Amino acid sequence: MRRSVSMAVAQLCLVRSMSRFSLPLTRLVHENLSIVMCFAYSRKPLKKMIQAKFKGEWKYLNKALFEISAQQAEKACVELALFLSDSR
């Protein structure tokens, strides 16, 4: 379900951006969608790896792998939302 929704969003973004907008906006959609998808599908395997390979608390590793990527994904979602609402 999650994957099919993501694919539908990707296709909608690409159709809108390719037919009505210039190349930089298409690139914006590709980059932001890539950030969101990498965040969504890498979180669980990264947590599993950290639990298996690292002992104790790794404050800066957690920040690099989870906090910063969550912030970037949130920013990418906002940019995509603004782009989609502006393209109507």
Residues 19-33: pLDDT tens digits? Answer: 565 558 888 899 999
Name the token pair of 3: 């994957």
Q: Where are the domains of the chain?
A: 2-86
Separation CA 40–CA 51 (nearest Å): 18
pTM of the model: 0.67
Separation CA 10–CA 28 (nearest Å): 12
pLDDT at 54 over 60: yes
Name the token pair of 74: 């949130």
